[in-house]
Structure formats: C-alpha cells, structure tokens
Amino acid sequence: MKVVHTVREMQQIALQNKQTNQTIGYVPTMGFLHDGHQRLLQSAKKENDIVVLSIFVNPLQFGPNEDFDRYPRDEEHDREIAEQEGVDIVFMPSVREMYPSSLSVQLNVNNRTNVLCGRSREGHFDGVVTVLTKLFHIVMPDKAYFGLKDAQQVAVVEGLVKDLNFPVKIMPIPTVREQDGLAKSSRNVYLSKEEREQAKYLYHALQHGQQLVKKGEKTKDIIINEVIQFINSKTRGKIDYVELLTFPNLEQVDQINERVILATAVQFERARLIDNIIFEKNGEITITSS
C-alpha cells in the first residue's frame, strides 16, 4: 500500500494506471473509517484493478458553526483499515495541498439541495461538489463509491457527474448498520450511553413509515406524522426534519406514486444523526439509487 500526500504524485500514478488500462475504484472519505467505509472499499476491491482511498477533511463543506476542528481524526487507525481492506493507494493531502490559494472558481449546486440537510447547511453541498471535482480530476477514477446513508449527497454527486459529463460511474452502496439498526457514522462516538440506546429508534421509525406504505398508505403528511410521533415517543432527541421526497430528484410529493426517500435528522446533545430509507411506490425497499 502506498500513501500519497501530493496532488502531483497522485495524478502521475493515476495516469500510469490509465496507460496500462487498469480500472480505478475510488472511495472518497474524511477519515475516521468505520464498517460503512469498509463496505465501500470491499465493493471497490471486487470491481476494479486498483483501489484508491482518499482521506481529506474538507473545510469547504463545514459551516461557520459546524464541527470542522473537532471532526474525529485517527490517521493510524485509518491506515490499518486501508491495509486490511487491500487498498492500493491512500491519498492524504493537507488542506494547503488541496487549497494552496483562494479559489477563483467554486461550484454551486442549484437543485436537490434545498431539502433535507441542505436546507440548514447553506453552502455545504457547494463545498462537496467543489472538492469532488478536484478529487475526480486528481484520482481519475472509473467508479466512485458512496454510502446511501447520506443519500442526499449521492443524489447531488450523481447530478454533478451527469451535468458536467465526468467519465466516472457513481456506485451507491447500502447503509451499513449496527445490529440494532443504527446507521454507522463517525459521529456516533459523541452519543452518551442513553442517547446510543435511543438512537436505534430512528431507523425503526423510518421502517414504520415504510411499512405504512406497504400496507397501502400513500399520503405524505400521514406517513411523516407517524414517523415524528414514533421518534418523539422513543427518544429525547430534537427532530430537525422528517421528509418524504422523490428520489433521486428530491422533489416534493403529496401522494406516493414513484420511488421516494423517507429521511430524518435528529439532534442529540453532541451529535446530529441522519438516516433514510429509499423505497418504491409499493413500499418495497430500493437497494441502490439507479
């Protein structure tokens, strides 16, 4: 396994791989790797000749009151996981390496952002697509792997790739969960013991909403109210949102007649957790977004 810290070296390696017709599978992360990241790496390993993992905590996607400075980092642990999963190249640039000067160009996302987490995180997805544009040019992947836990990000990135004609295929991977259903997340370490016990009910609440659809309920407001009541009865977390939207376009809908995402975000004392379920109009679970 090779660890690369500069853009120049990473691009040279990527070009060499392209010249020998080796396919590149790419997993972009902000580090502090967990089982969800490992699932992405395992999928990339199965489907490509070379696996590139990037670890970069991107300041552009953090708002002024968000947790950039305290975002969990553990470089030694991340290297061990990468080695364990057979990663070929770990790209670990510094902020100065990625942003050596003020940006003269930055991307703005027009659609799929004024809902879910994007509503309360102004500029977040602009930072996401800006750094991914840089990373796609640096790593030159054939396939890029993203977890559906952050389904809004998957939808936005698919829009980026489609609209700007990137020669990369986005590979959405199902959410990896703890045994009790809690979605794996780097932020779970901030939960107290009591909050950790309550957090499992976010997924259970979404499942409750999905089961209502399977039983024939089609009205958005009824489903959302049921999910809200479920979360409030089982947790002390403060609900940021419960939304039901078309997927992947993330458009409002009153009656379910196509593929949708049912999603929630709940703020606990020191951690804001997100989760979602994507399913068809009959309530059957959709594994991927495409």
Which segments are annotated as binding site for beta-alanine?
61
Sign of the CA dihedral running 220, 226, 229, 235: negative
Q: What is the DSSP string of the chain?
A: -EEE--HHHHHHHHHHHHHTT--EEEEEE-S---HHHHHHHHHHHHH-SEEEEEE---GGGS-TTS-TTTS---HHHHHHHHHHTT-SEEE---HHHH-SS--S------SS-SSHHHHHSTTHHHHHHHHHHHHHHHH--SEEEEEGGGHHHHHHHHHHHHHTT-S-EEEEEPPPB-TTSPBP-GGGGG--HHHHHHHHHHHHHHHHHHHHHHTT--BHHHHHHHHHHHHHHH--PEEEEEEEEETTT--B-SB--S-EEEEEEEE-SS-EEEEEEEE-TTSPBPSS--
Spot the catalytic one: 5, 37, 137, 208: 37
Residue 207 · residue 249 · CB < 8 Å: no
37 annotated active-site: yes
28's tokens: 């972009």
Distance CA 240, CA 284 (A): 26
Which segments are annotated as binding site?
30-37, 61, 147-150, 153, 176, 184-187
Catalytic residues: 37
